[in-house]
Amino acid sequence: MTEKVQSQDGPGAVDIPVGISACVLGQGVRFDGGHKLDRFIRDTLGAYVRFVPVCPEVEMGLGVPRETLRLARGGDDEGGAVRLVAPRSGTDHTERMESFARMRVMQLGKENLCGYILQNGSPSCGMERVRVYSKPGVAPARNGRGLFAQELMRQLPNLPVEEDGRLNDAGLRENFVERIFAYRRFRTLFGGAWQMGDLVAFHAREKLLLLAHDRTTYQELGRLVAGAKGRDRDQVAIEYEALFMAGLRKMATRGKQTNVLEHIAGYFKKLIDASDRQELQEVIASYRAGHVPLVVPVTLLKHHVRRHDIEYLAQQTYLDPHPIDLMLRNHG
Ligand code: SF4
C-alpha cells in the first residue's frame, strides 16, 4: 500500500506530492472490496501532482473484505471518549489505529506533502461530520473525525487537507488547489538555503493572492517580515508558514476579488486609452455582478500586464496561482 502513483505526463512535470485516501484513487480497498473513485481528482488534478495513496485500515492489517467499522462514544466509565469499533464482532481498534496513524503520519511528514485528500464519512479517513454512535436507538451525531485524519491534522496542521465530497463545490475546490500550489511555493523557498531577501520577495509576490483571501493576514505577515531581521530564521519560517496557510484557508469572496482586480486595474490608468479603460471597468463590474467568472477579468488584466511589461504585476502569483487547465476560476 506504499506504492506511489506517478502523475501523468503533461504540464505537471514538477513533483508535487499529495497524500490521498487510496479508495478515492480507485483502489479496491474498502471493506467490501469497492472503491470511491473521483475522476476529477485522479485524471485532472492527477496530471499535476504525484499522489501518495494510503489506506489506513488495510495498512494497519485489516484485510479486504473486512468488517465495517464505526466511531462510537464510550460510556462514562471510558470518559466518553470516541472509539473505533467493529460493531458486529465488538472488536475495538482504537489503540491499534492510533498507534498506526502516529507512525504513518510521521513517515508522511518526510514526504514533503503539499496537500491531502481524505474520503468523507469514513471513521478512519473522514475529516469532519463523521457519524458517532452512542446508544442503540439514538441517531448518531454527525460531529466526528476519523482517527487517521485526526492524527494527520494534529501532526501536520498547516498541510492543506480536504475531503473528496467537498471538492465537488467549485469554491472549495479552487481554494484547496490554490493552497496546494501555494504550499509548494512556500516549501520550495524554505526548503533551501534562503535569505531574508528571499522572504521579502516571496511576501511581495504573494501580496495580491493574500489580499484576495484576508487583508489582516497580509498585514500580520508584513509585520512579521519587517521584524524578521536578527531573529532566528527557523522560528520566522515556522511563524510565516502557520499564518500564511491559515490566511489562504479563508475563502476568497467576490468582493475581495473585486478589490484586488480594481487594484491591478489602477496600474493601467495612464497606460491604456479610454476605450480599453472602459472595457476593463465593464469586465470587472460584470464579474462583481456575477455575470462572468473570475477567469474573464484576470485574462484581460494579464493581457495588459504582458503588453505593458509591468514586472511587479507579472510576478504576482495571484495572476497564475495554479495551472489554467484545471479551469478553477471558471465557475460562477
Ligand atoms: S476511507 Fe480510508 S480506510 Fe476506508 S477504504 Fe478508503 S482509504 Fe481505506
Q: Please state the atom number of ligand 1 nearest to the C-alpha of residue 126.
A: 1
- Give the mutation target among 24, 29, 128 for probing the ligand 1 site: most ligand atoms within 8 A of CB: 29
Q: Would you place residue 10 in the very low, low, confident or very high pLDDT band (cuts 50, 70, 90)? A: very low
- Give the mutation target among 125, 148, 150 for probing the ligand 1 site: most ligand atoms within 8 A of CB: 125
Alpha carbon of 110 to ligand 1 centroid (Å): 22
Residue reference for cell 465593464? 282
The whole-number average pLDDT for the span 1-13 is: 41
Alpha carbon of 28 to ligand 1 centroid (Å): 9
Average per-residue pLDDT for the chain? 93
122 lines ligand 1 (CB under 6 A): yes
163 lines ligand 1 (CB under 6 A): no
- Above pLDDT 90, what percent of the chain? 88
Protein residue closest via CA to atom 6 of ligand 1: 23
pLDDT in tens, 190-205: 888 899 999 999 999 9
Alpha carbon of 124 to ligand 1 centroid (Å): 7
The whole-number average pLDDT for the span 11-17 is: 71
pLDDT in tens, 57-96: 999 999 999 999 999 998 766 667 999 999 999 999 999 9
Q: What's the rounded Cα separation, in Å, for the pair 291 and 287?
A: 6
Alpha carbon of 149 to ligand 1 centroid (Å): 11
Nearest to 150 by CA among 172, 112, 124, 120: 124
For residue 138, what pLDDT is reported? 92
Q: Please state the atom number of ligand 1 nearest to the C-alpha of residue 57.
A: 3
pLDDT in tens, 93-112: 999 999 999 999 999 999 99
Alpha carbon of 57 to ligand 1 centroid (Å): 6
Q: Which residue has the higher pLDDT, 137 or 255?
A: 255
For residue 136, what pLDDT is reported? 85
Alpha carbon of 29 to ligand 1 centroid (Å): 7
Q: What's the rounded Cα separation, in Å, for the pair 82 and 142?
A: 13
27 lines ligand 1 (CB under 6 A): no
pTM: 0.93
Quickly list H helices, the chain: 39, 56-59, 94-109, 147-155, 170-190, 196-205, 207-213, 215-226, 233-249, 254-266, 274-288, 295-308, 311-314
316 lines ligand 1 (CB under 6 A): no
Alpha carbon of 289 to ligand 1 centroid (Å): 42
Q: What's the rounded Cα separation, in Å, for the pair 259 and 288?
A: 10
Q: Would you place residue 1 in the very low, low, confident or very high pLDDT band (cuts 50, 70, 90)? A: very low
The whole-number average pLDDT for the span 215-219 is: 98
- Give the mutation target among 1, 3, 21, 116 for probing the ligand 1 site: most ligand atoms within 8 A of CB: 21
Is the model's pLDDT at 12 over the cut of 50? no
Is the model's pLDDT at 4 over the cut of 90? no
The whole-number average pLDDT for the span 216-221 is: 98
Q: Would you place residue 325 in the very low, low, confident or very high pLDDT band (cuts 50, 70, 90)? A: confident
- The ranges assigned to domains in the chain are 17-168, 170-249, 254-326
Ranking 50-59, 68-77, 149-158, 206-215 by mean pLDDT, the lowest is 68-77
Residues 2-5: contacts with CB under 8 Å, at least 24 apart: 2/59, 3/53, 4/50, 4/51, 4/52, 4/53, 5/46, 5/50, 5/51, 5/52, 5/53
- Above pLDDT 70, what percent of the chain? 95
Protein residue closest via CA to atom 4 of ligand 1: 30
Give the dihedral sign, CA 312/316/318/320.
Answer: positive
pLDDT in tens, 228-280: 999 999 999 999 999 999 999 999 999 999 999 999 999 999 999 999 999 99
Give the dihedral sign, CA 132/134/136/140.
Answer: negative
DSSP string, 96-148: HHHHHHHHHHHHHHTTT--EEEE-TT-TTT--S-EEEE-STTSPPEEEE--HH
